[in-house]
Chains A and B, each alone.
Chain A
Amino acid sequence: MKNQPFVRVSELHKDFKMGETTVKALNGVSIGIERGSFTVIMGPSGSGKSTLLYLIGGLDWPTSGAIHVDDEEIETMDENTLAIFRRNKVGFIFQSFNLIASMAAEENVSFPLRFSGINPAERKQRSQKQLELVGLSDRMTHKPTELSGGQQQRVAVARALINDPPLILADEPTGNLDSFSGLAIMQLLSDLHKAGKTIIVVTHDPRMRQFATNTVFLLDGSIVSEVDYKNATELLTQPFEKG
């Protein structure tokens, strides 16, 4: 099993039932992502990039195909094992931050540790350390509503890192941020990559590519080449002509 990619996705299919019709969100995706890489998944809306990310993170089950993360086959895991897999192996960063509004930054960051059975004193110490790492040591007791969008996303990054997972999955992490805050988050993710984390980011933001070690292009649930992707996206952006 040596020299196998850290994340291996083979012939992945994911169908969604929308009433009578079946939508094929992923249509036979196969991909290998190396440990310590920074992968950017790009694609237009509805291309299946978020679906792929969530399947790799074990938040959903594929219709068919196999997913291996760190040599663990996750699509066959039961819900309990999957929860423990997420706890130990994956840190999630979402577009809308998903912070709990009533909790201070420090409590939001330490929230995952409650499920790991860590005692309150250690939770506090670890969350303070993570917040210092993301540059928010002066914002520990602030509630999300008292923080800017960029600061909230940094709190979310700190929360993703609290269990020290090897894999960070980010779904449009800059989508709700202004360009400056977005760039700061990209820089933060790049720093994590340099620190040895495997990063997979789903984004529309082309600036993210400058930090990436590889880029995956998705169109209609399938992986395509950059050329095909560009042609298709150009076609999509051209105005309709009569005739």
Chain B
Amino acid sequence: MRFLDLVSLIFYNLSRRKGRVLLTAVGVVIGTSAVVVLVSLAVGLRENATQQLWGINDLTSIEVYPGYNMKSSGGGMMMGGGGGEIEDIKYLTPNAIKEFQAIPGVTRVIIEDYFQGSLDVVYGKLHGYSSLMGISVDDLADMGLEASAGTTELVKGTAVVGSWINRNFYDPKARPDDPPLEPPDLMGQTLKFVVSKWSQDGIEIKKTYSIKIVGVLKESRGQSDGSIYMRLDEISAWNEWVRGTRINRNKEGYSNVIVKAESPEQVIDITDQINTLGYMAYTPQSTVQGINSFFTILQVIFGGVGAIALIVAAIGIANTMAMAILERTREIGLMKAIGATNKDVMSIFLGEAAGIGFIGGLGGVIFGWGASAILNIVAVSYYTSQASANGGSPLSSVASTPFWLPAFALVFATVIGLISGLYPALRAATLVPVTALKYE
């Protein structure tokens, strides 16, 4: 039997009992649309969660700290745990940085150095506090940071501040009944950075620098919000002043570095490689990975719920096909009498079952797609109104249908139909012709 003849015969047979086929297909429509909507929802939630994380963390960054390797007799734990004797410290020396740069996929290594003395930021009568960081880039944009005002470029004698820094200012002479202080606009202002250290005699030695604020960073909901950034060479010089000696970077290295990867996909691999070298590397991607695996589980569970609906529909298909075979037993006998092989009969009935699955699957994909779109419109408008009222970022979508999902759902529904038609079709194919012809 030619394939096209088989397909036309299958759809002809299905069209002979439209009502029953459509009713059976409704079950498949429900199951398939449940799969499409629920999996789209899980995918959409995952995308949203990942997007939110992208906002907080730059997913191409790996933070690296010196590696403290304990003797195995000391408890076998890295970084603390007590009782362990440090056997070997892997400092972040210029050589180490070269090692990182040699790892495939690493675009650059940025050195961060915290100011180690105490800092008092003075703006008129206001005093402020912050962590001060020297960084080995000329432009903070290289770190993925953006300015809300001014520039991200670092020039000697200037600083770029995080978005929350102005909230850290206070008036030491304020009275309790004074109105709350309005955070000052620091952009373009010249602040006094009063750095201090203690001499061996217990005397506080202070030094004041005038630093111009040339940029305010956009809120990142991360570390940068509470930091003041300056050039690395300046902060290193200040640290040397605090210590009173030159710092030999070849010996004690830097406090930490940021390794930037070419793409987020390479980050986990590079992190592993740096850890293997004996340093402590951390990436926010491990958090993302955890979240991803959570959403994968959610996707499977959601998909499973839809699949259960499809399996119920499959029982409906099996029932419809079993009924059809009973009703058409004489027809099966006739087909065999006029030369249909068992394979022909089997193909016709399997095809009819798969056809019901396909029709239902097609309806389910269209319905599920539509339902996802409606869900998006309703949920996004709700969240947008909530976000504008309460703050927070609005969602772009709730359900996201990946391109493979409709095709997968359609194939899945067809295969479910095919499987549910297996037993009835086998029964039809193996009927003895004469028994089928005499069936009343």
Contacting residues, chain B, for A112 (C-beta < 8 A): 338-339
Cβ B344 vs Cβ A100 within 8 A? no
A114 near B9: Cβ-Cβ < 8 Å: yes
A contacts with B, residue count (CB < 8 A): 26
User: Does B1 sit at the interface, judged by CB under 8 A?
Assistant: yes
A123 CB to closest chain B CB (Å) equals: 9
Q: Which residues of A contact B338 (CB under 8 A)?
A: 86-87, 92, 111-112, 115, 159
Which A residues touch B342, using CB under 8 A? 79-80, 83
Is A102 part of the contact surface with B, judged by Cβ < 8 Å?
A: yes
Asked if A179 is an interface residue, CB under 8 A from chain B, the answer is no
CB atoms of A117 and B336 under 8 A apart: no
Return the chain A residue nearest B433 by Cβ: A59
Q: Which of B2, B9, B336, B437 interacts with A83 by CB under 8 Å?
A: B336
Residues of B contacting A57 in the complex (Cβ-Cβ under 8 angstroms): 337
B1 with A117: CB separation less than 8 A? yes
Whether a CB of chain A sits under 8 angstroms from the CB of B432 is yes
- Chain A's nearest CB lies how many Å from the CB of B202? 105
Chain A proximity of B327: nearest CB distance (Å): 11
Segment 97-117 of A: residues with Cβ below 8 Å from B: 98, 100, 102, 111-112, 114-117
Contact in complex: A100, B2 (CB < 8 Å) = no
Is B189 interfacial (CB 8 A cutoff)?
no
Tell me the complex Cα distance, A159–B434, Å: 18
How many Å lie between the Cα of A115 and that of B337 in the bound state?
A: 11
Q: Are B16 and A102 in contact (CB-based, < 8 A)? A: yes
Chain A nearest CB: distance from B416 CB in Å?
A: 27
- Bound together, the chains give a CA A40 to CA B341 distance in angstroms of 29
Q: Is the CB of A83 within 8 A of B341?
A: yes
Report the minimal beta-carbon distance from A116 to chain B, rounded to whole angstroms.
7
Give the distance in Å from the alpha carbon of A159 to the alpha carbon of B335 in the complex.
12
Q: Does A88 contact B (CB under 8 A)?
A: yes
With both chains docked as a complex, state the minimum distance between the C-beta of B4 and any C-beta of chain A, in angstroms: 9
A60 with B434: in contact, given A114-B5, A115-B341, A115-B344 (CB under 8 Å)?
Answer: yes
- CB-CB contacts below 8 Å: B294-312 with A: none
B interface footprint on A145-162 (CB within 8 Å = 1, 0 otherwise) = 000000000000001000
Q: Which A-chain residue is minimally distant from B339 (CB atoms)? A: A87
Kindly report which residue of chain A lies nearest to residue B3, judged by CB atoms: A117
Residues of A within 8 A of B433 (CB): 54, 59-60
The B interface, classified by DSSP as helix, strand, loop or mixed, is helix
How does the 8 Å CB contact mask read for B391-429 relative to A, with 1 for contact and 0 for none?
000000000000000000000000000000000000000
Indicate if the CB atoms of A84 and B16 lie closer than 8 Å. no
Q: Which residues on B sit within 8 Å (CB–CB) of A84?
A: 339, 341
Q: Does A203 count as interface, using CB distance less than 8 angstroms? A: no
Of all chain B residues, which has the CB nearest A103? Answer: B12
CB distance from B20 to the nearest CB of A (A): 14
Contacts of A102 in B (CB 8 A): 16
Q: Does B343 contact A (CB under 8 A)?
A: yes
**B residues within 8 A CB of A163?**
339
Q: How far is the CB of B433 from chain A (nearest CB, A)?
A: 4
**Distance (Å) between the CB of A125 and the closest chain B CB?**
16
Interface contact A83-B339, CB-CB below 8 Å: yes
Known: A79-B342, A112-B339, A114-B9. A60 touches B432 (CB 8 A): yes
* Cα–Cα distance between A120 and B4 once the two chains are bound (Å): 10
B437 touches A86 (CB 8 A): no
Does B330 touch A at the CB level, under 8 Å? yes
Inter-chain contacts of A80 with B (CB < 8 A): 341-343
* CB–CB A86/B336 < 8 A: yes
Q: CB of A94 within 8 A of chain B?
A: yes
A98 and B334: CB pair below 8 A? yes
- Please give the distance in Å from B21's CB to the nearest CB on chain A: 14
B340 pairs with A59, CB closer than 8 A: no
B331 at the A/B interface (Cβ < 8 Å)? yes
A76 CB to nearest B CB, Å: 17
B319 → chain A, closest Cβ, in Å? 22
**Would A79 and B331 count as touching, CB distance under 8 A?**
no
Which residues of B sit under 8 angstroms from A60, Cβ to Cβ?
432-435
Cross-chain contact of B341 among A79, A92, A119 (Cβ < 8 A) = A79
State whether A59 and B9 are in contact (beta carbons under 8 Å apart), knowing that A80-B341, A98-B330 are contacts in the complex.
Answer: no
In the complex, which residues of chain B have a beta carbon less than 8 angstroms from the beta carbon of A79? Answer: 341-342
**Binary interface profile of B, 319-337, with partner A (CB < 8 Å = 1, else 0)?**
0000000000011011111
Chain B residues, Cβ within 8 Å of A54: 433-434, 437
What CA separation (Å) do A94 and B16 show in the bound complex?
Answer: 24
Q: Chain B: which residue is nearest A116 at the CB level?
A: B339
CB distance from B164 to the nearest CB of A (A): 77
Note all chain A residues with C-beta closer than 8 A to B344: 83, 115
Give Cα distance in the complex from A63 to B433, angstroms: 16
Central interface residue in B331, B336, B337, B339, by most chain A CB within 10 Å: B339
Question: Which residues on A sit within 8 Å (CB–CB) of B432?
Answer: 59-60
Q: How far is the CA of A57 from the CA of B434 in the complex (A)?
A: 10
Contact status A98-B437, CB under 8 Å: yes
Nearest Cβ on chain B to A98's Cβ, whole angstroms: 5
What is the CA–CA distance of A92 and B340 in the complex, to the nearest angstrom?
A: 13
Query: Once the chains are docked, how many angstroms separate the CA of A119 from the CA of B4?
Result: 10
Residue of B nearest to A96 (CB): B330
Shortest C-beta distance, B146 to chain A (Å), equals: 67
Give 19 new A-B contacts, CB below 8 A, not counting A115-B338, A115-B339: A54-B434, A59-B433, A59-B434, A60-B433, A60-B434, A79-B341, A79-B342, A83-B339, A84-B339, A86-B337, A86-B338, A92-B337, A98-B331, A98-B334, A98-B337, A112-B338, A114-B9, A115-B341, A120-B5
24 A-B pairs with CB atoms under 8 Å apart are A54-B437, A57-B337, A59-B333, A59-B336, A79-B341, A83-B336, A83-B339, A83-B341, A87-B338, A88-B339, A92-B337, A98-B331, A98-B333, A98-B437, A114-B5, A115-B339, A115-B341, A116-B339, A117-B2, A117-B5, A119-B2, A120-B5, A159-B338, A163-B339
Instruction: Give B contacts to A, CB under 8 Å.
Output: 1-2, 5, 9, 16, 330-331, 333-344, 432-435, 437
Nearest 7 A-B pairs (CB), nearest first? A87-B339, A112-B338, A60-B434, A83-B341, A59-B433, A59-B434, A98-B334
